Amino acid sequence: MTWPSGLFYLAFCCQILLVSYYFPKRVVANIDHVLTNFPPDTHPKLYPGQFERYIQAKNRFAFVCRCIFIGGLLLIPALMFLVEHKTITEHGFISPAWPAGYGMLQFLPFVVLALSEFSYFKQMRQVDVSTTRVAVLRRRNLSDYIHPLLILGAIGLWVTFILIDFYVNNSTSGWSSDSVLRAVVTGLTNSLFIAIGAFKLYGPKQDPHQSNTTRARLTSIELKILTFGSMAVSLFMAFTAINDALGVGAIDALIVSLYLQVIAVVSLGYALRKLQPQKQDFDVYREYSATG
């Protein structure tokens, strides 16, 4: 086993443990905390559907994550075996598609969980009988939620990555070069982040019972996650560009695995740290709350 392969297996083990064991465990613990401490008897507004459905959803999430975790553990010896017999190597190295493909599978349950929020809040709005609507008489500005230096940092990193990419790869082959492709891909990714950020900042309130203070706090956290994500994408692409220029294909898979872990830490890790249920205001989900 070569040293890049050894490092990759180590990083891949961390990736499996972090994304499919540690973070799901914390998410499930948070859901359990909410289900136990804020039951439908005292907080009926929190459960627009049947209580059992939320328990089932939590169990389903935990089960899928566990399956992916076991699949990952089985993938390591399989990779070792196949690499040993040189059946899956790319120019003699492990292809980065393995950690990338498995990483996408790992993030899938979290994406589904995040998207299911929309239908959950829609249901919440449908059963909401309150006749009052509250708004803050203040313009929402981006700088109120995130430090402008952080935004400038993300933009600066993106521009720096493009300059580095074009410089180290001497992109003279016009629009078809890898550097242009990377610039376009990161541009589109950042556009998506901007669209999501704009929706969070200026879009309609999803949770009808959420207080304006909580909304402001959540928006700030979500915008920071998007900015960190954009920075991570730029850094990863810069590494890829340098790697391309130097032709060090041996560490491609390692870089992808580390990149996915960074993405997991800045998104899931940050959100879990900031959105602990103990710090949330659940009183707004009581039957008769001050905010209606």
Partner 1 sequence: MQVIIDYDDPRPPSTQLIDQIRRAVSNGDLKPGDPLPSIRQLARDLELNNKTVAKAYRLLERDLLLESRGYRGTFVHPDGARMSTIDSKDWVLNTLRESIVACRTAGITDPEINNAFRILMQEQNTEEDKQR
Q: Contact residues for partner 1 (CB under 8 A)?
A: 131-140, 202-205, 212
DSSP class of 209:
T
CB 263 within 8 A of CB 100: no
Residues in the chain: 292
User: To the nearest whole angstrom, how small is the minimum distance from the Cβ of residue 117 to partner 1?
Assistant: 18
Amino acid sitting at position 96: P
Nearer to partner 1, 105 or 142 (CB): 142
* Closest CB to partner 1 among residues 212, 276: 212
Closest contact distance (angstroms) between CB of 99 and partner 1 is: 41
Shortest distance (Å) from residue 203 CB to partner 1: 7
Tell me which residue has tokens 């560009």.
241
Residue corresponding to tokens 């089960």 = 63
**Looking at residue 278, what DSSP letter applies?**
G
Which CB sits closer to partner 1, 179 or 210? 210
Least distance (Å) between residue 138 CB and partner 1: 6
Cα–Cα distance, 226 to 267 (Å, whole number): 8
* Rounded distance between C-alpha atoms, residue 275 and residue 270, angstroms: 8
Tell me whether residue 66 or residue 205 sits nearer to partner 1 (CB atom): 205
Calculate ∠ Cα 14-222-241, nearest 5°: 55
Residue type, 292: G
CA 85 to chain centre: 35
Alpha carbons 150 and 143: distance in angstroms, whole number: 10
DSSP 85-99: TTSSEETTEE-THHH
Nearer to partner 1, 140 or 147 (CB): 140
Of 258 and 284, the one with the shorter C-beta distance to partner 1 is: 284
Q: Tokens at residue 263, please? A: 């993405």
- DSSP symbol at 18: I
198 beta partners? none
As measured in angstroms, the least distance from the Cβ of 211 to partner 1 is: 10
Least separation in angstroms between residue 155's CB and partner 1 is 23
Complex with partner 1: residue 208 or 229, whichever CB lies closer: 208
Name which of 204 and 247 has its Cβ closer to partner 1: 204
Least separation in angstroms between residue 288's CB and partner 1 is 16
- The secondary element (H helix, E strand) that includes residue 117 is helix 97-127
- Rounded to the nearest whole angstrom, what is the least distance from the CB of residue 128 to partner 1 in the complex? 11
Identify whether the C-beta of residue 206 lies closer than 8 Å to the C-beta of residue 121.
yes
Distance CA 243, CA 238 (A): 8
